[in-house]
Amino acid sequence: MAAQRVAEDVAKGTKQTARVRVAVRLRPYMHMQDPKGEGACVRRLDTETLEIINWRNATETLQYQFDVFHGEETTQQEVFLSSVKPILPHLLKGQNASVFAYGPTGAGKTHTMLGSQEQPGVIPRAVRGVFNLVKAKEREHEGWDYSIGMSYLEIYNEKVLDLLSPSAQDLPIREDKDRNILIPGLTHTPLSSFSNFHSHFIPASLNRTTASTKLNQRSSRSHAILLIKVVRTQRNPPHRQQTGKLYLVDLAGSEDNRRTGNKGIRLKESGAINLSLFTLSKVVDSLNAGGGGRVPYRDSKLTRLLQDSLGGSSHSVMITNIAPEYTYYFETFTALNFAAKSKQIVNKPFIRETVTVPSVQVKRSREEQEAGRSGEPQKKKLKDVKKTSQEEPTPPAQLHSPTDPSVLNRLLALEKLLMGTPVKERLNMHREIQELKEKQKEFESKVTGNGATRNSSDSGSSGDSPLFRTHLPPLHRKQSTAAKPKKQQAVVSPLQVSQLQPLQHCPVVKKPSVCLMKKQKNLEQSELQEGKENVKDTGWESHLDKSVLDQSRHKILQVLNSGSLKDLKGLQQIGDKKAKLILGWREIQGSFSQLEDLTKIEGITAKRLSSFIKANILSMMGT
């Protein structure tokens, strides 16, 4: 069985795109958040448009238009029906959908997503809506089976934590060959009803990290992501399977630490939150810029998980929560600009479907085909073969064929079945083959032992019978009478002591070594080259007037004694390092009395000095 993905544009023949829908919700005015009593800075114009006072000019206003604008009096039910409910049917078609709340801290994001027991938010209403859609489809008897599951996680300080089974382990984020985002180790809980979801979701929500700040009594310190997975499988062949995922995201709000008064751990948390939201804005800017450039999804774990929601293959809805008070003016202004940019992002949804493809038939032996036609499982076949091998009577062993036919037949049958069995069953078969081989060895040893005893008994009986009685002596091997050739033995003569003769005075001839000759030649060549260079270096001075030569040398000496670092670097063959060395020597030793004193500085040899003088005098004459 093989699986293949069927995209929606291939199935329908047209390429579908879906723009990110943006809804803006205005939180009710709170007097305690406006100590100066300045009133609201945002006003609703119609169901899609709002205006905000221009901070550059208080007499002007800036207008924004979105897909939906929810005013202060909008209920939770109206937000769900207008913004979230239209994207839920896509889940049952094998497509992804996502809803995420964005806005500053204290603007009402968690209230919009979670709500309360009296006014449930987007998450409980969306999950209930998914169950209602599945029940309606099951009543239609279209031949599909549905299954629903959930996963719940939070991103706290750039760590992915499982809320269904809380632990301090940071879960990794992976991507498969189809560019689907996966989290290995994340708990996936099957759901049977909405009450079953409620029993898992409420305890997991209490595991989310929250804390109190100056602007929010119960501030979310992490981004929470709820994943609802809907899988529908076709009952009849080809058993198609479609998978749809719903991401419900409650983002932590951006914070101004000067106003929230964060310190210590709260300051570290707000830094991680602001960094991830900044990366989210960079992703939006990159997607709007177009041109196929790099989109920084991997710069943050939040954007990595929202990769499918922004510029991916999901039907996305962003609910931007804003506050009306003047104390939230710049946070509201920034959130509206982000929402306006997000409205331009275009996603490309497709159907995630796997279709069973018939596997390639492998040519099998006749015994395997017969075994396959019988429709019996492999284990049963092995048992039957074992029984037959045990029931067959073993023939008496013969001297000319020391093998057991039943063992051989069993070995052949096992080797044929070994090729088409899974790995777990192969281990058992290997063990059985080893046992059969050991039995075969034991049988062969018994057969050979029986043959030896028979031969001995036959010989004994023949010795006792009178027919084979003889008076001849037993045969013995005679010793050879041929003379063996004698080996030649080494003859060692005794040492003869001779009287030592006095040494004669011989003339000793010393031959020069090759290495010394080569060194001597190299020295002679180097001396010749130095001599030629000296001739060249001294030859150019003879062509110049002596007064001009002295005047140029005096100018060089004057620069060396009184010139700055820049002046010294202006000389030929003097870089930054040598200029600093000259300044240091001058401060310690004083002025140079003659140009030849430069050889006292490290790195300046007589040869370099002559080339330095020549280069500078010629450059002065050229200028």
Quote the DSSP letter at residue 115: B
Separation CA 1–CA 3 (nearest Å):
7
Whether cis (ω within 30° of 0) applies to the bond prior to 104 is no
103 annotated ligand binder: yes
Separation CA 172–CA 186 (nearest Å):
9
432 three-class SS: helix
HSE-CB for 544 with a 13 A CA cutoff:
18
HSE-CB for 209 with a 13 A CA cutoff:
22
Dihedral sign, CA of 562, 568, 574, 576? positive
Cβ-based burial of 116 (10 A; exposed 0-12, middle 13-18, buried ≥19): exposed
110 annotated ligand binder: yes
Specify whether the CB–CB gap between 269 and 157 falls below 8 A: yes
Specify whether the CB–CB gap between 459 and 465 falls below 8 A: no
108 annotated ligand binder: yes
Helical ranges in 296-422 per DSSP H: 301-305, 329-342, 366-373, 378-391, 405-418
From residue 107, give the alpha-carbon distance in Å to each of 288, 335, 548: 26, 11, 86
Separation CA 237–CA 606 (nearest Å):
95
What number of residues does the chain have? Answer: 623
101 three-class SS: strand
Which residues neighbour 371 within 8 Å (Cβ) at sequence distance 6 or greater? Answer: 381, 417
Beta bridge partners of 62: 52
104 annotated ligand binder: yes
Specify whether the CB–CB gap between 129 and 92 falls below 8 A: no
Separation CA 110–CA 70 (nearest Å):
16
Binding site residue list? 103-110
Q: Which residues are annotated as a binding site for ATP?
A: 103-110
